[in-house]
Structure 1
Amino acid sequence: MDLFLQQVLNGLTLGGIYSLVALGLTLVYGILHVPNFAHGAFYMAGAFISFHLMKAWGFNYWLAMLGSAACVAVLATLAERLVFHPLRKASGLHPMIAAIGVLLFLEAGAQALWGADFQRMQTPYTGIVELGGVTAPVQRLLIIGAAFSLVVVLHLFLTRTVLGSTIIAMAQNREGAALVGIDATRVSMLTFAISGVLAAVAATLYAPINLVYPAMGNLVITKAFVIIILGGMGSVPGAIAGGLIIGFAESFGAFYISPTYKDIIAFVLLVAILSVRPQGIFAQGAR
């Protein structure tokens, strides 16, 4: 039972990170209806900026996270203005190619600035907590608490505020939202900024138990695409549920099957679920 609960803890940790990344991705998809492959680069940039602020400028962990979130929000907004906005009337292939271009540009920039070596981000939360026989690193508990708190805050923002309602309206019907006076440009910029914040926070939370390197966002964004397909393209509840499903599947799969196949489990699960429910888990929330 202790080993089982240990895997539950690991699953919640991975699920929280995956949900944050997938939420940013699904919000952008809801506005553009184009997969934003550059989102993985925003995740990577968030980790590197936090790492740099802590190591070079002496910021503490939380200030580095806030600084990283602000920087990546600006970076994502600039990408929307300079890359995606000019292509808003182009076919779906052009924005996808542009997103891949942004991804490669940011990876090359990170490698030029910080090098290709793997870096280790420090954290003040290095302790271990014993919870009923389960060994729980404080950083993992922080990830679970912070990730799911941010999910709740985002849900309340989208459902209880006017700005959040405009994002939902734009995702449901762009033309109808424009007819009732919603500023599409403002909503697009806000959505990209939120996605950047989510990516930066997720990266800063997870980096201390992982490594920081230029290609770190590639596998994460691939799994995020699996998650939003599982949950239903454009569905916010689906992104959260999909993140938890993949997180638990990887945790239990690595323990009971083999760690070697941990990263393959997400794609096997994708095939299995879509063969039964091709529209995704939360089909009504998707477009």
Structure 2
Amino acid sequence: MDMFLQQVLNGLTLGGVYGLVALGLTLVYGILHVPNFAHGAFYMVGAFVSFHAMTAWGFNYWVAMGVSALAVAALSVLAERIVFHPLRNASGLHPMVAAIGVLLFLEAAAQAIWGADFQRMQTPYPGIIDLAGVTAPIQRLMIIGAAFALMVVLHLFLTRTVMGSTIIAMAQNRDGASLVGIDANRVAMLTFAISGALAAIAATLYAPINLVFPAMGHLVITKAFVIIILGGMGSVPGAIVGGLIIGFAESFGAFYISTDYKDIIAFVLLVVILSVRPQGLFAKEHADGLA
């Protein structure tokens, strides 16, 4: 039972990080209806900015996280204005190719600035707590608490505020939202800013128990795409539940099967679930909006 609970803890940690990344990805998809492959690069830049703020500028962990969230939010808005906005009326292939171009550019820039070596971010909470026989590193507990608190805040923002309602309206019907006076440009920039900030926070939370390097966003963004497909493209609840499904599947799969197959499990689940429910777990049949 102790080992089972240990894997539950690990699954919640992975699910929280994956869920945050997938939430940012699904928000942008809800507005653009285009997969943003550059999101993995924003995740990577977030980790590097936090690492640099802590090592070069001497900021504490939380201040570095705030600086990283603001920097990546600004970078995401800049990418939306320069790259994605001019292509808003183009076919789906053009924004996808542009997103891949942004991904490659940011990875090359990160390698030029910080180098290609693997870096390790120091955790501010190196302690370990024993919870009824379960070894619980404080950093992992902090990841779980912060990630799910952010998910609740985002849900309340989308459902209880005017700005959040405009994002949902834009996702449901861009032309209709424009006709009732919603500024499409402002909503798009706000959505990209939120998406970038979520990616930076997720990267900073996970970096102390992982490594920081230019290609660190590849596997995370691939799994994030699996998550939003599982949950239903453009569905916020689907991104959260999908993140938990993948997190638990990886944790239990690595323990009970083999760590060699940990990263394959997500794609096996994708095939199994989509063969039963092709539209995803939470997708609405007649709406593209953020469910």
User: TM exceeds 0.5?
Assistant: yes
TM-score normalized by the length of structure 2? 0.98
Partner of 2:10: 10
CA distance in structure 2 between the partners assigned to 1:174 and 1:87 by the alignment: 15
Equivalent residue number for residue 162 of structure 2: 162
CA distance in 2, matches of 1:123, 1:263: 25
Which 5+ residue runs of structure 2 have no aligned equivalent?
none
1:84 is matched with 84
Listed as ranges, the matches of 1:14-93 within 5 Å are 14-93=14-93
Deviation of 1:180 (Å)? 0.5
In the alignment, which residue of structure 1 is the partner of 2:176? 176
Distance 2:278 2:101 in 1: 30
Shift of 1:284: 1.6
Alpha-carbon distance between aligned partners in 1 of 2:107 and 2:208, rounded to the nearest angstrom: 20
- Specify the alignment match of 2:236 in structure 1: 236
1:143 matched residue in structure 2: 143
Secondary structure class of the residue paired with 2:263 = helix
Q: CA offset at residue 164 of structure 1?
A: 0.2
Partner of 1:246: 246
Cα RMSD for the two superposed structures? 0.7
User: Counterpart of 1:263 in 2: which secondary structure?
Assistant: coil
Q: Distance in 2 between matches of 1:144 and 1:132?
A: 18
| 2:271 counterpart of 1:271 | yes
Q: Which runs of 5+ in 1 are unaligned?
A: none
AA in 2 matched with 1:234: G
Distance 1:123 1:77 in 2: 29
Deviation for aligned residue 1:124: 1.3
After superposition, give the CA deviation of every residue in 1:16-46 in whole Å (9 maximum; x if it has no partner): 0000000000000000000000000000000
**Take 1:172 and 1:225, find their aligned partners in 2: how far apart are those partners?**
20
The answer to whether residue 208 in structure 2 is matched with residue 208 in structure 1 is yes
Which residue matches 1:111?
A: 111
Q: 2-side partners of 1:33 and 1:129: how far apart?
A: 43
* Counterpart mapping for 1:274-285 below 5 A: 274-284=274-284
Separation in structure 2 between the aligned mates of residue 276 and residue 20 of structure 1, nearest angstrom: 26
The whole-number CA distance in structure 1 between the counterparts of 2:47 and 2:124 is 16
Residue 241 of structure 1, CA deviation: 0.4
Q: Give the match's secondary structure for 1:40.
A: helix
**Per-residue CA distance 1:256-283 (angstroms, 9 max, x = gap):** 0000000000000000000000000002
Report the TM-score when normalising by structure 1.
0.99
Question: Percent of pairs identical after alignment?
Answer: 84
Aligned AA for 2:211? L
The amino acid across from 1:82 in the alignment is I
The CA distance in 2 between the partners of 1:25 and 1:180, in whole Å, is 26
User: For the residues of structure 2 that align with 1:171 and 1:236, how far apart are their CA atoms?
Assistant: 12
| CA distance in 1 between partners of 2:65 and 2:16 (Å) | 17
SS, match of residue 136 in structure 1: strand
Whole-angstrom distance in 2 between the partners of 1:186 and 1:162: 13
